[in-house]
Amino acid sequence: MLNTKTIEIIKSTVPVLEKHGKDITTHFYQMMFQNHPELLNIFNHANQRQGRQQTALANAVYAAAAHIDNLEAIIPVVKQIGQKHRALGILPEHYPIVGENLLKAIKDVLGDAATDDIINAWAEAYGVIADAFIGIEKEMYREAKEQPGGWEGFRKFIVDRKVKESDVITSFYLKPEDGNAIASYQAGQYLTVKVKPETDEYTHIRHYSLSDAPGKDYYRISVKREDHGVVSTYLHQEVSEGDVVLVSAPAGDFVLEAKTAPAVLISGGVGLTPMVSMLHTLLEQQPDREVLFVHGALNSQVHALKNEVARIVATHANVKNFVAYSNPTDTDRAAMNFDKEGFIELDWLQKIVATNQADFYFCGPVPFMKMMYRSLIEWGVPAGNIHFEFFGPASALTE
Ligand code: HEM
């Protein structure tokens, strides 16, 4: 337990570190990757380039430090980050590396202002925060391994089928190479894939939402080929049926709540993948619940899984499907295969959903997520009815 003086120092220096947050963490990452280049096998290089992870880690450490005398209060956040850490394979031995380099970065950036008292206090506080993460993640590793069909770390999966869903999205059906059972999951959770392109020095890890309902003998992920996306390009272009990819056990806390209010599943682009999984699952678990599936895409050429959703809508009176195309093709116009031209906007949502007491789930690209979040808040949707999956630091949503 930290003594009162240490707690006082931490709390009084949090704002100082926040002010220098970006400088400290940029310097921290540069040093850490220089001293431990092997960590470049774990960290997302694109996030590094965009400075996203820098801010996320810094903010999380300061937020934790601000609650250093009551870490219980931030356990839900630690659990959310822990899910990602567990899926990525972050281990207890990684924590001292981060701690050592972070402290050195604080010292370098603050210069004389970083007295021994301050540095020692932060060393102690980091130790307490790291222990909280390590403890929670240890439990997650145990659960991932001990659940039926579960496993530890990364397991080899064979690409059983590769199915083109649109011009830019392809589904991969993955079966374990060992032929044994696979862990179940909850709709909305993601799978974490590790690959090493032959021409690349490093392994690369990415999370992809599971797009089918649980309970099958395979996992399905539906991956969008991103411009300059190392892993998505590799999966689309280099990986064929019969090839092996490494996968860690399903993770994530974006899951359905068994409420009775209508469920509104809103997605932009490839963000529809967890929504399709949720749609299948809702029909299995709550077959009479009213479900609205609202999807926004550029046009039908990049609208993935549309036949799968259309089949469900055609056979279930309680499911309604709404499509917004921001740039419909001439064929789309002739076929009138969409409900709105433009983006998913609040006034349209208000018309099709009718009540702000519905239960809202959404996933999509960053600008879409920001817009949805603001719109639902503006509409007065209760916070407990707003659920989202955000790939990348969730803090970017409210910035
Ligand atoms: C992701 C915090 C320790 C590796 C994250 C995120 C946060 C965070 C907030 C973003 C989560 C999201 O995507 O929503 C922390 C804190 C730590 C810590 C507070 C220490 C107490 C570590 C350690 C490692 C690590 C020891 C490994 C050396 C990663 C990686 C990601 C991540 C690889 C994924 C994002 C990316 O690749 O850019 N962490 N982390 N973290 N963390 Fe940590």
HEC profile for 214-274?
A: CCCCCEEEEEECCCCCHHHHHHHHCCCCCCEEEEEEEECCCCCCCCCCCEEEEEEHHHHHH
Residue 341 is a catalytic residue: no
Q: Which of 24-28, 199-203, 336-340, 392-396 has the lowest mean pLDDT?
A: 392-396
- Look-up of token digits 């996306």: 229
Q: Which of 37-41, 50-54, 179-183, 388-392 has the lowest mean pLDDT?
A: 50-54
Closest protein CA for atom 22 of ligand 1: 95
Name the residue of 81, 97, 208, 230 whose CB sits within 8 Å of the most ligand 1 atoms, as the mutation to test its pocket: 81
Q: Are 222 and 171 in contact (CB under 8 A)?
A: yes
pTM metric for this prediction = 0.91
Mean pLDDT, residues 364-389 taken together: 94
Q: Which amino acid would we find at residue 60?
A: A
Helix (H, G, I), strand (E, B) or coil at 106: helix
263-307 pLDDT, tens digit per residue, is 999 999 999 999 999 999 999 999 999 999 999 999 999 999 999
- For residue 124, what is the enclosing H or E element? helix 116-146
Considering the chain, what percentage of its residues have pLDDT values greater than 90? 78
CA of 54 to the centre of ligand 1 (A): 9
Query: If 0-12 CB within 10 Å is exposed, 13-18 middle and 19+ buried, where does residue 105 land?
Result: buried
Give me the pLDDT at residue 64, please: 87
| CA–CA distance, 257 with 255 (Å, rounded to integer) | 7
Give me the pLDDT at residue 398, please: 46
What ipTM goes with this model? 0.98
Instruction: Give the list of residues 6+ apart from residue 347 with CB closer than 8 angstroms, or none.
Output: none
CA of 217 to the centre of ligand 1 (A): 31
Q: Are 270 and 222 in contact (CB under 8 A)?
A: yes
Strands 291-297 and 263-268: parallel
φ/ψ of 77, rounded to 5, equals -70, -45
* Pocket lining: 102 vs ligand 1, CB cutoff 6 Å: no
Residue 95 is a catalytic residue: yes
pLDDT tier for residue 392 given thresholds of 50, 70 and 90: low
172-196 pLDDT, tens digit per residue, is 999 999 999 999 999 999 999 999 9
- Look-up of token digits 């990525």: 88
| CA–CA distance, 87 with 205 (Å, rounded to integer) | 9
Q: Which amino acid would we find at residue 358?
A: A
Name the residue of 24, 50, 53 whose CB sits within 8 Å of the most ligand 1 atoms, as the mutation to test its pocket: 53
